[in-house]
Structure 1
Amino acid sequence: MAAVSTMWRTPWVRWATIAVVAIALLVAPLILPQIANQTLIRIGVYAVAVLGLNIVMGYGGQVNLGQIFFLGLGAYVTAYGVQNDWNIVLVFAAACLIPAAAGLLVALAAARLGGLAIAMVTIALPIVGVPLAKRFSDVTGGSQGVSARFSNAPEGSGLYDDQWQFYIVLAIVAVSFVLARNFVTGRFGRALAIVRENENVASSMGISPYRYKVLAFTVASLFGGVSGFLYMVAVQYTSPETLSFGHSISLLAAMVIGGAGSIVGSLIGGAYYVFVPQATSAIDPNLTTIIQGVVLLVVLFVLPGGLVSLPRRIRRRLRRTSSSDLARTATQTSSRPAPGRDEEGTEETERQGQA
């Protein structure tokens, strides 16, 4: 395991692995069945939503129980732009910037609050969002929802719709994760970590906790809007149900199970959000919520750092086992008599007996 870890630190090994994964992802939609492509697309959609939640909660230490609101808002903006024949680039920009602006307004008011107060503010977002989506039926389609078909494969591309959608989602997800990684590992990420640990220390170092909290919440909202655009790419339909509070809690559970404060954990969380409900529904639809709760509790007790921490736990266990084996071997070696010592002791005893 140590050899594997050392090998991964070698630049050419890391880049070769990335190249192999990239090639596999580019080839996958061409050979996988439609159902598999659609499943991978949905994982990408929710991985970006969990990524935004991870930035504000995992890295920023703030409470956000309304991430699904920004996903739904991005989906409605996308549908509105498509129905009004906007340029698709403009649609994407609006789907990102309008949720980001909404998140900024919420953050400016809520970032000064703490604990229970900010939790209540974010809880209110999906709770208020559902009736608002139903009320403004001219724009949102009311309870019936609204559809927007814009992600079908272009004629002459030689691709099926699911393959074309896969490549769109793959490109946007890849860029989102690269930007998020640079975001949290750069100067902003270091400052945000200090704010999360101790706001007084951050203030003494010239770092404004309020400013970084607002920025983190805004960035999380932007990623929520990106996931809303991707949701429309994949589903091409949205309704007030998209904004429901239950989905927001599921996103939160996905972040915790994947791994809070981890970019890779966000991808695992997206997979959890898609796979686990499908698996639990296949077992017994009436027990879906109970089984998901049990899974969450088991992961919290066994792997508090989420599934992303599993390899690290295995490495520690292997190191501990290796250290115990070495200590046991050293103890056995030190307690073993030196060669010839027993024979000399026996001869000396015999001579004393004869005397």
Structure 2
Amino acid sequence: MSALLRNRWVRLGLVLVVAIVLIAAPLMLPAFANQTLIRIGVYAVAVLGLNIVMGYTGQVNLGQIFFVGLGAYVAAYGVTHDWNIVLVFLAACLVPGAVGLLVALAAARLGGLAIAMVTIALPIVGVPLAKRLAGLTGGSQGVSARFSGAPDWSGLYDDQWQFYLMLLVTAASFLLVRNLVRGKFGRALAAVRKNEAVAASIGASPYRYKVLAFTAASIFGGVSGFLYLAAVQYTSPETLNFGHSIALVAAMVIGGAGSITGSLIGGAYYVFVPQFTNTIDPNLTAISQGVILLVVLFLLPGGLVSLPRVLRRLTRRLTSRPPRTPPVRHPSPEQTERQAQA
């Protein structure tokens, strides 16, 4: 099977089939299913950005939700002031990217707990700041911004139009990151993650690439915020809640750190697992999610994306194990003597 997937034409065929399914899906699914898939795309982009800085670079970032919320607020501001949709999208990317660059320039030289504390402070400060800047953010009540309704010429329902918007932005984001991490930039990030001294010796400045990785993660956080507003059409200080940031980190780890596919799995985990645990017992949601996280980490340290590799390894061990033969029992001297006398 793995040899078959290495064939270029087979991979192109699979990509074409997946693309056709994704394009046709919103036309056949009910509205609630489309909304669920849209939310998966929203948070998959957020996890993708987090994966750049944590999975590929090995730098701690516990404040990704701050950039998601900031992107949503910037998009809401642009929509309420009648900006062009392209300008709204660019602003939702560039403003979080600029803030992330400033934070990275100050914090990239730090390591361990120090940078963790800096990133933790972002959502902790962001929530009261959003409440105080009521003129821009709507205060505690939040702000509504409807801009993703289907145009009349499309003949689509709103949920279908939002799905295609999400699909376009998410596919472009994943393709861009895939090309980045498979090129020179990705090799430099891998060198920084493994050994900063070795990376510096080969010309890859750890400080520079940490700043670039954190800035890229912030930009994709803004992209996720734009998609969030397009889907929900509302944002509030709750969007910046620190608990959501920890949930994003858990989603990245469970999906698979340092994996493009793992980011998509992480987005699905972020959406489906809270729904699943709530149906079991709403009062034990946090405990249930913690148990799921521990079980996955113990069984699959590489995340769910490593499951096929683990299964192949187990299958190979079982098929290559030689059959057990019963031991040969030699007769004792007494038995040999009795047989000779007989």
Q: TM-score, normalised by structure 1?
A: 0.91
RMSD between aligned residues: 1.2
Question: Following TM superposition, by how much is the alpha carbon of 1:206 offset from its aligned partner in structure 2, in angstroms?
Answer: 1.5
Q: Which runs of structure 2 are paired with 1:228-243 in the superposition (5 Å)?
A: 228-243=225-240
Rg (Cα) greater in structure: 1
The amino acid that maps onto 1:225 is: G
Name the residue aligned to 2:323. Answer: 328
2:162 to 159, 162, 165: 165
Question: 2:251 matched to 1:268?
Answer: no
CA distance in 2, matches of 1:191, 1:23: 35
Tell me, yes or no, if structure 1 residue 259 matches structure 2 residue 253: no
Measured after TM superposition, the shift of residue 134 of structure 1 is 0.2
- Letter of the structure 1 residue corresponding to residue 59 of structure 2: Q
Please tell me whether residue 315 in structure 1 is matched to residue 312 in structure 2: yes
Counterpart in 2 of 1:301? 298
> Deviation of residue 328 (structure 1)?
2.4
From 181, 184, 189, give the equivalent of 1:184.
181
Aligned twin of 2:197: 200
Look up the match of 2:130: 133
Q: Unaligned 5+ residue runs, structure 1?
A: 336-352
| Pairwise CA distance, 1:204 | 1.1
Partner Cα separation in structure 2 for residue 308 and residue 156 of structure 1: 40
1:156 CA displacement: 2.8
Task: Return the match for 2:148 from 144, 148, 151.
Answer: 151
Give, in whole Å, the separation in 2 of the partners of 1:270 and 1:239.
Answer: 21
2:86 maps to 1:62: no
Measured after TM superposition, the shift of residue 282 of structure 1 is 1.3
Distance 1:91 1:36 in 2: 27
**Which residue matches 1:111?**
108
Q: 1:99 aligns with which of 96, 102, 106?
A: 96
Q: Which residue is 2:334 aligned to?
A: none
| Aligned partner letter, 1:152 | G
Give, as a single letter, the amino acid of the residue that structure 2 aligns with 1:111.
Answer: A
Cα distance in 1 for partners of 2:239, 2:142 equals: 10
Count residues in correspondence. 328
- Once residues 150 and 169 of structure 2 are traced to their aligned partners in structure 1, the CA distance between those partners, rounded to angstroms, is 17
Q: Aligned residue for 1:142?
A: 139
Residue 346 of structure 1 is matched in structure 2 by none
Q: Aligned partners of 1:193 and 1:296: how far apart in 2?
A: 26
Runs of 4+ in 1 over 6 A off after TM superposition: none
Select the residue among 73, 82, 94 that pairs with 1:76: 73
Q: Distance between the aligned counterparts of 1:35 and 1:280, measured in 2?
A: 19
Amino acid at match of 2:150: A
Paired residue for 2:275?
A: 278
Question: What's 1:33 paired with?
Answer: 30
Structure 2, unpaired ranges of 5+ = 329-339
Structure 2 length-normalised TM: 0.94
- Aligned-residue sequence identity (percent) comes to 76
Q: Deviations over 1:243-273 (max 9, x none)?
A: 0000000000000110001000000000000
Residue type matched to 2:94 in 1? L
Q: Could you give the per-residue CA deviations for residues 43-102 of structure 1, whole angstroms, max 9, x where no partner exists? A: 000000000000100000000000000000000000000000011000000000110010
Deviates more, 1:154-163 or 1:20-29: 154-163
| 1:178-223 CA-partner distances (Å, limit 9, x unpaired) | 0011111110100110111001111111110000000000000000
